[in-house]
Amino acid sequence: MATIKQALISVSDKAGIVEFSQQLIALGVRILSTGGTAKLLRENGLEVVEVSDYTGFPEMLDGRVKTLHPKIHGGLLGRRDLPEHVAKMAEHNIEAIDMVVVNLYPFAETIAKPNCAFADAIENIDIGGPTMLRSAAKNYGAVTVIIEPDDYAPIIAEMQANNGAISPESNFSLAKKVFQSTAAYDASIANYLGRFPRPDAHPLEQYFLPETFTWQGTKAQDLRYGENPNQRAAFYKDPKIDEPCISNAVQLQGKELSFNNILDSNAAFELVKEFKEPAAVFIKHTNPCGAATSTSKSLADILRQARACDPISAFGGIVALNQEVDKESAEVLAETFLEAIIAPGFSAEARDILVTKTALRLLEAPLLEEFQASGLEVKKVVGGFLLQERDLKEAPSDKWLTVSNREPSPQELATLQFSWKICKHVKSNAIVLAADNHLVGVGAGQMSRIDSVNISVMKALVPTTGSVLASDAFFPFRDGIDAAAKAGVTAIIQPGGSNRDDEAIAAANEHNMVMIFTGNRHFKH
C-alpha cells in the first residue's frame, strides 16, 4: 500500500477539484499546484505550495515551462524501494510526490471549433501534463495518478478506509487509464497535424485523411467468440460518437450479444435510420430480407408486411424498428424466432410479451429527432486497412434524372425512393424489388448483375408484376433490364454511368419502363 503524503494538482477541468483537495488536506496531504489551479484553491481557503516555490525555478514562457523540472520528475520517477534512488533523491533535495492529479489542455475540443486557427491548435498541445502523467503512471507502484474527476470519490473513500494509503491494484488500474488517455490525446494531435502539408496550408490544400491514422476504442465486452467458434473476439466502442447506433444501444434482456449479432444489429439499425416515417427491417447476415414503411398502417401491420418478403430468411434474423414497440407489434415479433430486436423503445406491455423469449436480445437505441451522421469507417485487410467516409451523401430525389420516355407515376416515384434507400444497404451486386413501399425480393452479393436480378425475382413470394427495381450500380448490359421487364417490373432506379447507358435506356423504352439515374453509386462490399 502506498501512503499519500504529497500531491501535485494541475487541472484544466476544475470540476470537483476544490472538494477533492479539501478532502486530501483533511487526510494530511500536502498539495503542490500551479497557475490557475493554485489560484482557485487559495481563493477557496486552501493552503497550497506553488510549484515554482517548490522547485526554486519560476514559471516562464507563458506557462510552457513550469513542471518540467528534476524536482518534479525525480519526485515522481524515483523508486522508493531502491536505496540508490532514495539516496540520490536525498542528495539533491528531491521530495517524493505520491499523487498526481492532472488533466490535459482541451486539444480535441479546440480543433472541433469551427474555423479553429492552426496556431490555437498548437497552443492547446499539452506538454508538461502528459509528461507528468506518464512519469507517475510508470512508477505506479509508489505513485497514484488521476486523470479523470470521476476517480476523485473512490480514491478518497479508499484513502479514508486505509489510513491515507492506496492499494497497488488501484494504482495499476489508474496507470493503465493514463496511458490509454495519453495515447488517445497524442493520436488526436497526430491525426490533426497529419492533414497539413505545411503549417500555413489553405483548407483546400489540406489532406482530408491524415498521413497516418490512429483510432482508439474502449472495450465494451469480451465476446464468446468471433464469426466462428475458433476465433477470439471483443467489442470496442468509440467513446466520442453521440449518433444513435448499435454502440450506444442498451441491452434490456436476452443472451449476451455475439460477434455476428452486433454486425447484423448494426446493419439493421443503420438501414431503419434511413426512414423518417414508421419502418421495420428484417436482416439476415447483414442483408435485408424484409422491409416496409407506411404512414397509414399500424407498426404491427408494417412488421407483417416486412416479414412477408422472406419469412424463411427472417427466421433467426434481426429486426430493427424506428418506432417504440407496442403490444400488438410485440405479438407479431413473438411469432418468429429472432436473435435480436433493436428499437427506440419498448412499451411495458411489449416487454411483458417479449420477456417470455428468454434468449431474445432486446436493444434500446433511442432515435433523436435530429442527429448528424458523420465519421469514417475502417475495413481491415491483411497487412493494413482501408479508411473512408461513411456512405452518407445522397442527391435529393428532385435532382434525379428521368432518362426514359415515360415519367414515373407518383406511386412509382415513392416506391423508387423507398427501394433506393434499401438498395444502399444490400451487398453488391445489389438488386432490390419493391412494391407499395415494401420489399418484394432481394438479390445480394452476386458476381454478375443479371444473377442478382434473377435471384431477386426467384426470391419473391408475391407476383412481381407492377414492382420497381433498384440497382446499386449501373447495368453493364441490357440483359438485366430485359429480365426485369419479363418479371413485370415497371420502373428502374440506378446510378447510371456505364458506356452502355444508351442501350439500357433504349431497353427501358422498348418495355415502356421508367428509368431514373441518381448519379450516385452505392457499392457495399
| Active site residues per annotation | 138, 285
| Torsion angle (degrees, nearest 10) of CA 135, 141, 147, 149 | -150
Phi, psi dihedral angles at 418 (to 5 degrees): -60, -50
C-beta neighbour count of 169 within 10 angstroms? 8
Strand partners, 341: 319, 362
Q: Residue 415, SS3?
A: helix
Best CA proximity match to 455, nearest among 466, 441, 465, 475:
441
Cell readout for 144 is: 497514484
The answer to whether 128 touches 66, Cβ cutoff 8 Å, is yes
3-state secondary structure 313-376: HHCCEEEEECCCECHHHHHHHCCCCEEEEEECCECHHHHHHHCCCCCCEEEECCCCCCCCCCCE
d(CA 335, CA 439): 20
| C-alpha to C-alpha distances, 374 to 9, 184, 244, 371, 392, nearest whole angstrom | 37, 20, 11, 9, 8
